[in-house]
Amino acid sequence: MEYKTQMEAAKKGIVTKELAAVAKKEGFTEAELLPLVASGRVIIPANVRHKSLDPNGVGEGLRTKINVNLGISGDCADYCAEMQKVQLAVQFGAEAIMDLSNYGKTREFREKLIEYSPAMVGTVPVYDAVGYLEKDLMDMTAQDFLKVVRAHAEEGVDFMTIHAGINRRAVEGFERSKRKMNIVSRGGSLLFAWMKMTGNENPFYEYYDEVMDILREYDVTISLGDALRPGCLDDATDAGQIGELIELGNLTQRAWEKDVQVMVEGPGHMAMDEIAANMKMEKRLCHGAPFYVLGPLVTDIAPGYDHITSAIGGAIAAANGADFLCYVTPAEHLRLPDLSDVREGIVASKIAAHAADIAKGVRGARKPDNEMAEARQRFDWDAQFRLAIDGEKAKAYYESVPASDKHSCSMCGKMCAVRTTNRILNGESVEILQNETKK
């Protein structure tokens, strides 16, 4: 039987090589995974032209995945530096990389990224439209925006953020809401500006069926962008955000009718006590489609430390149903992140994702933690560094102030609780001020 997309194949009972690979990674049987993909509750973003892809699944019952944003900007057009970030993301096992380039040779960079990256690659076509077509925003036509979608699909992009939910009704609601931060989504703001300047409907909403036809042809997953996501705590869970989410639920079903895989994007800033309800609301309104969240950042007053505010919110979000976390770096709100920022952002996001997987009982999630506990109990430092999310940093810390012997670290020395208990249980003495002897 022929098929165009992973979803269509699953509906027909066909086990693709990508589905088989995901089932093996996640500890699922193929029979268990097929209905999840067929119903849209799990996606496997895998453009037919992305030949270097190591496929991953996102959604119900699977490990929480993370995404790393990077790309060329007008103020920092260093292609080599961005490729170093790509390599770092791959080294740390990030499952997705989003190229948010909006300046210069975006196509050349994206082609190199897709050729190299085993991680799924995402883009936001509206970011690239001005540079790709060499037209200013006011001069764009609806078909121009669709041309960029097709170009990215042909190049091998696995998923695209498309802000189709910010239609005229949503704009009217936003304008009535009098938000503190207005629109903080870059793609959403560009479409809002285009709509207001031209008087036209959002082209991605008006021509949504045409967009689906393009995505279906290459099996590109649509990531339904949240143009009206909150950019500060005070704007969270307001009418604009919820109204757009309802529209995204309708667009999800329309995509599924075309066998196009879908994930839905969620809030950026939100108080901790609102997160769980928002996760459940998305799953209800968007029919169980995977949820992709930026953060949420749980406070607005920690610039320079927003990888931490994001990790707190991300852990709560994923534990309550979010499936995919977009990393946030310490440079968020301040500048383009450098390599060190990217590393900190990746590690913080992986911690949040793993902690959430333990909380929601994902298959095998506790295994490395149990192995770490055993390695610590027997002072197997090499095993500890191997199991650590960032083993290189852990080893550097351990070696920077060496302990007097390998059965402790320099924090506790001979007063190490694990060392003391091990010696007593082994029938040995514990003498802090002199050399100890075995009994």
Radius of gyration of the chain (CA): 24
Rounded Cα gap, residues 385 and 399, in angstroms: 12
Task: Establish whether 409 is an annotated binding residue.
Answer: yes
| Residue 50 counted as an annotated binding residue | no
Residue 74 has pLDDT above 80, yes or no: no
- DSSP for 202-216 reads PHHHHTHHHHHHHHH
Instruction: Check the annotation: does 186 bind a ligand.
Output: yes
Mean pLDDT, rounded, for 30-58: 98
Provide the pLDDT for residue 435. 67
Q: Which stretches within 220-296 are classed as H helix?
A: 239-257, 272-285
To the question of whether residue 354 is assigned a binding role by annotation, the answer is: no
Q: Tell me: is residue 80 an annotated ligand-binding position.
A: no
The answer to whether the bond into 337 is cis (omega within 30° of 0) is no
The whole-number pLDDT of residue 387 equals 98
Give the model confidence (pLDDT) of 298-340 as tens digits: 999 999 999 999 999 999 999 999 999 999 999 999 999 999 9
pLDDT tier for residue 436 given thresholds of 50, 70 and 90: low
Residue 359 has pLDDT above 90, yes or no: yes
Buried-state track 300-314, b at ≥16 Cβ within 10 A, e below 16: bebeeebbbbbbbbb
412 has binding-site annotation: yes
Write down the domain spans for the chain.
Answer: 45-359
- To the question of whether residue 69 is assigned a binding role by annotation, the answer is yes
- Residue 149: both structure tokens together: 């979608």
Q: What is the reported pLDDT for 373?
A: 98
Per the listing, tokens 């509906």 go with 11
Alpha-carbon distances, residue 60 vs 96, 352, 363, 378 (angstroms): 17, 17, 12, 36
pLDDT at 282 over 60: yes
Smallest CA-to-CA distance from 230 within 269, 180, 278 is with 269
- The answer to whether the annotation marks 263 as part of a ligand binding site is no
Residue range 216-249, pLDDT digits in tens? 999 999 999 999 999 999 999 999 999 999 999 9
Q: Is 265 annotated as a binding residue?
A: yes
Is 187 one of the annotated binding-site residues? yes
pLDDT value at residue 2: 92
Contacts with 397 (C-beta within 8 Å, 6 or more apart), sequence order: none
Name the fold adopted by 45-359: TIM Barrel (3.20.20)
Is pLDDT of 437 > 60?
A: no
CA distance 51 to 277: 39
Confidence of residue 427 (pLDDT cuts 50, 70, 90): very high
**Helix or strand run (H / E) with residue 89:** helix 79-91
pLDDT, tens only, 364-389? 999 999 999 999 999 999 999 999 99
Task: Give residue-wise pLDDT tens across range 165-223.
Answer: 999 999 998 998 889 999 999 999 999 999 999 999 999 999 999 999 999 999 999 99
For the chain, the 3-state helix, strand and coil shares in percent, each to the nearest 5, are 50, 10, 40
Q: What DSSP character marks residue 122?
A: E
Q: Find out whether 185 is annotated in a ligand binding site.
A: yes
The annotation status of 269 as a binding-site residue, yes or no, is yes
Closest CA to 279 of 323, 243, 249, 310: 323
pLDDT digits (tens, 9 = 90+) for 100-146: 987 767 888 999 999 999 999 999 999 888 878 888 999 999 999 99
pTM: 0.95
Tell me the C-alpha distance between 417 and 423, whole Å. Answer: 10
Flag whether pLDDT at 438 surpasses 70.
no
Contact assessment for residue 23 and residue 30, using Cβ atoms and an 8 Å cutoff: yes
Residue range 134-145, pLDDT digits in tens? 889 999 999 999
Q: Any binding-site annotation on 292?
A: yes
Phi, psi for 435 (deg, rounded to 5): -65, 135
Q: What is the mean pLDDT of the chain?
A: 95
Q: Residue 227 annotated as binding?
A: yes
Residue 385 to residue 127: CA distance in whole angstroms: 40
**Location of structure tokens 């496929």:** 55
Proportion of the chain above pLDDT 90, given as a percent: 87
Check the annotation: does 386 bind a ligand: no
Q: CA-CA distance, 41 to 355, in Å (whole number)?
A: 22
Alpha helices in 94-185 (DSSP H): 106-116, 125-133, 142-155, 168-177
Please name the residues in contact with 116: beta carbons below 8 A apart, sequence gap of 6 or more: 52, 83, 86
Measuring CA to CA, how many Å separate 108 from each of 71, 148, 198, 377? 12, 14, 31, 50
CB 317 within 8 A of CB 329: no
